[in-house]
Amino acid sequence: MSHCSCHDKPQHSLLPAAYRILSITRHTPLEWNFRVAVDFPAHWGQFVEVSLPRVGEAPISVSDCGDGWIDLLIRNVGKVTSALFTLKEGDNVWLRGCYGNGYPVDTLRHKPLLVVAGGTGVAPVKGLMRYFVENPQEIGQLDMILGYKNRDCVLYKEEMAAWRGKHNLVFTLDEGEADDCYQIGRVTDRLADMALSDIDTMQAIVVGPPIMITFTVKCCCKKG
């Protein structure tokens, strides 16, 4: 399964349409997850344009999806997102899309996969990680390094806590104290120390700030 199939109602991807908010999960004061009922197919790695009438529009990544719904992790940083944070379950948002190609899931299957993501960059790859965690027979070794500023910024805490015993999942923090769950330092520090198997066939997905991506790619190249 490389995408999340929904209903077959035709959808013109250039025109916004109203969709109902099913639930809102407050991960941090600034980052909320909006689960929205939809009638169009979505793929992990795609995005939609989210809008409100007379307010504006913003591109938001699909963080996860299922039959008849998509999850949108939204950070409150501007006019449109501030207006979205005034909504409640049952209200409507306007969507158009999905856009983008999504992740090449068929290419990733049965190979070792490295995922490195930072901050809200975790959201665009969250659904893909969940799929492979729940379907380990479809992936080789799965290594995940997720970096945040501090503990208060960590997303999907409860869900990802259950992943740690199934695959190699490392959380890094820029600030705070280390413990059994969190390490202090940059994602590249942890990547440099990590023992990776089958490096010749390993696939890598890196999502985050440009500076993080640059140094992560350099670190990957050094490891082969």
What is the band of 166 on the pLDDT scale with cuts at 50, 70, 90?
A: confident
Output helix, strand, coil percentages for the chain, rounded to the nearest 5: 25, 35, 40
Dihedral angle of Cα 162, 168, 173, 178, to the nearest 10 degrees? 90
What is the band of 7 on the pLDDT scale with cuts at 50, 70, 90?
A: very low
Residue 148 CB neighbours (<10 A): 23
Distance in angstroms (rounded) separating the CA atoms of residues 194 and 170 = 10
What is the band of 12 on the pLDDT scale with cuts at 50, 70, 90?
A: low
Q: Flag whether pLDDT at 4 surpasses 70.
A: no
What domains lie within the chain, and their CATH numbers?
Answer: 17-99 (2.40.30.10), 105-222 (3.40.50.80)
Residue 170 zone, left/alpha/beta (φ > 0; ψ -120 to 50; rest): beta
Please tell me whether 109 is known to bind a ligand: no
pLDDT at 9: 45
> What is the pTM for the complete model shown?
0.87
Please tell me whether 73 is known to bind a ligand: yes
